[in-house]
Amino acid sequence: MTELTPAKSVAGKVVAAVANNVYESAIEAKKNGEKIAWISSNFPQEIPTAFGLHCVYPESQAAAISAKGAGQTMCEHAENELGLSNDICAYARISQAYADLGKCPNGEREMPLPDLVLCCNNICDCMFKWYENLARTLNIPIVMIDVPFNNKFDVDDKRIKYIRGQFDQAIKQLEGILGQKFDEKKFEEVCKISSQVGEEWLKATKYLNYKPAPYKGFDLFNHMAVATMARGQKESLEAFKEFNAECEQFIKEHKSTFKGDEKHRIMFEGIACWPYLGVTYKTLKNMGVNVTSCVYGPSFAFTYKNLDEMAAAYASMPNATNLERATQLREELCQEGKVDGGLVHINRSCKMWSSFMPEMARRISRDLDIPVVMFDGDQSDPRNFSEEQYVTRVQGLVEIMDSNAKKGE
């Protein structure tokens, strides 16, 4: 194996700055009396961006809040003060708590309160219940785009027609709310940038396919904030280009932000456990395991030229597609990432994602003949994660990968 030199990513900081800027400029805009939308991560943001509407993303905010240690406090506020069950998605709990409080306990990740909410259920139905609640408690309008779950492999015409029709409806609604006409030209521009950002993002994720990889897969968990929040912005394009150039440099120079020997490469499936990002990463790193496959690449890389193609792209979101397609997507990523095993997060928060995960894990393991282990956790509520169980499961996975590697020698 090639000796790797540990490296620090400079471009990563540029990407992080873009994410930060989304919040900062929204805070500024609010101060200037401009309207703010809270928007779900896979809402076709090209539409509000074309209106020049400032959008902030409650999912990303909740992730940041929990990564900085305030997940539990916010969840408890939602449960004790707002009466929400602790069974519902922790992002939804944190976000509703934030809507109620208007601030974080220690300024973990502030963002302005919304004047409207934009919701798309292509990743889960939890989303529209959550946004219904936001709209009700804050007494603001909601724009909803419904993407019905697809039991078939391919997206059919009736879905595209339906989603396309809802785009028109959403545009009309926004024209009414914002008192402004939809600018087709601007929209085309935004679509162009979004597609380019999508391509650069996808390219960034593909550098993990190099063996050894030029960066640690966990870096993607941070960088995806930009792919989520700033898909339609030129700054994101520049930042990802810089990141990609750095990756190529690292590959040429045998450098990586993954410290240590990349003994094993795995798929990490599911959302990161934000409150335990350090522990979950270090456990893997200490055993020489890098994550080189995760679904976040294709999840935020949309390419299209018009509203019809955009409808088809948004209808194909990983969480809106059937078991076979969801599995195939992971298997392709596993093959590209040249993984020896899989680690699956059974996320207590995410009913949609976890609901057929055991079967998907079995299929991936069987089809690719690799060990796949599951652990119980939560993306944001620290009460639902056991470090002990996590470490044991990872150890178990590594043992099998070690023994497989020996057999293969």
Residues of this chain that interact with ligand SF4 (CB under 6 A) are 59, 89, 91, 123-124, 126-127, 271, 349-350, 352-353, 379
Which listed range, 24-32, 46-54, 269-277, 357-365, lies at the site for another protein (CB under 8 A)?
Answer: 357-365
Residue 343 β-bridge partners = 268, 373
Give the DSSP H or E segment for 290.
strand 289-293
Partner from another protein, ligand SF4, none binding residue 149, C-beta < 5-8 Å depending on class: another protein
**Position among 166, 195, 233, 283 found at the interface with another protein (CB under 8 A):** 166
The Cα 333–Cα 245 span in angstroms is 22
Query: Any contact of residue 164 with another protein (CB under 8 A)?
Result: yes
HSE (side-chain half, CA atoms, 13 Å) at 222: 21
Query: Any contact of residue 128 with another protein (CB under 8 A)?
Result: yes
DSSP secondary structure string for all residues of 49-104:
HHTT-EEE-HHHHHHHHHHTT-HHHHHHHHHHTT---TTS-HHHHHHHHHHHHSS-
**Position among 150, 244, 303, 386 found at the interface with another protein (CB under 8 A):** 150
Which listed range, 108-116, 128-136, 249-257, 275-283, lies at the site for another protein (CB under 8 A)?
Answer: 128-136
In the bound state with another protein, the residue whose beta carbon lies nearer, of 27 and 126, is: 126
Among candidate residues 315, 307, 305, the one with its CA nearest the CA of residue 123: 315
**Position among 29, 82, 251, 277 found at the interface with another protein (CB under 8 A):** 82
CA angle 194-96-92, nearest 5°? 60
Partner from ligand SF4, another protein, none binding residue 30, C-beta < 5-8 Å depending on class: none
Phi/psi of residue 123, nearest 5 degrees: -105, -20
Query: Any contact of residue 188 with another protein (CB under 8 A)?
Result: no
**Position among 5, 31, 33, 83 found at the interface with another protein (CB under 8 A):** 83
Strand order in the sheet with 116-120: 54-56, 36-39, 116-120, 142-145
Query: Any contact of residue 33 with another protein (CB under 8 A)?
Result: no
Sequence-distant (≥ 6) Cβ neighbours of residue 401 within 8 angstroms:
264, 266, 289, 340, 341, 371
Query: Any contact of residue 88 with another protein (CB under 8 A)?
Result: yes
Nearest approach in angstroms of CB 380 to ligand SF4 is 8
Query: Is residue 339 a contact partner of residue 267, using CB atoms and an 8 Å limit?
Result: yes
Distances (CA, A) of 334 to 95, 113, 117, 125, 354: 33, 40, 36, 28, 19
Nearest approach in angstroms of CB 120 to another protein is 11
Q: Per this entry, what is the length of the chain?
A: 409
Binders of another protein among residues 319 to 348 (CB under 8 A) are 322-323, 346, 348
The Cα 390–Cα 374 span in angstroms is 9
Partner from another protein, ligand SF4, none binding residue 75, C-beta < 5-8 Å depending on class: none
Pull the structure tokens for residue 298: 């294709």
Sequence-distant (≥ 6) Cβ neighbours of residue 114 within 8 angstroms:
36, 37, 38, 56, 134, 138, 140
In the bound state with ligand SF4, the residue whose beta carbon lies nearer, of 233 and 380, is: 380
Partner from another protein, ligand SF4, none binding residue 91, C-beta < 5-8 Å depending on class: ligand SF4
In the bound state with ligand SF4, the residue whose beta carbon lies nearer, of 310 and 350, is: 350
Q: Is the dihedral of CA 275, 278, 283, 284 positive or negative?
A: positive
CA 316 to chain centre: 15
Nearest approach in angstroms of CB 128 to another protein is 5
Query: Is residue 145 a contact partner of residue 119, using CB atoms and an 8 Å limit?
Result: yes
The Cα 16–Cα 407 span in angstroms is 42
Partner from ligand SF4, another protein, none binding residue 356, C-beta < 5-8 Å depending on class: another protein
In the bound state with ligand SF4, the residue whose beta carbon lies nearer, of 355 and 395, is: 355
In the bound state with ligand SF4, the residue whose beta carbon lies nearer, of 74 and 287, is: 74
In the bound state with another protein, the residue whose beta carbon lies nearer, of 289 and 360, is: 360
In the bound state with another protein, the residue whose beta carbon lies nearer, of 132 and 261, is: 132
The Cα 201–Cα 100 span in angstroms is 34
Partner from another protein, ligand SF4, none binding residue 177, C-beta < 5-8 Å depending on class: none
Nearest approach in angstroms of CB 312 to another protein is 15
Binding site for another protein (CB under 8 A): 82-85, 87-89, 92, 121, 124-126, 128-130, 132-133, 135-136, 141-142, 144-146, 148-152, 158-159, 161-162, 164-166, 168-169, 322-323, 346, 348, 351-352, 354-359, 376
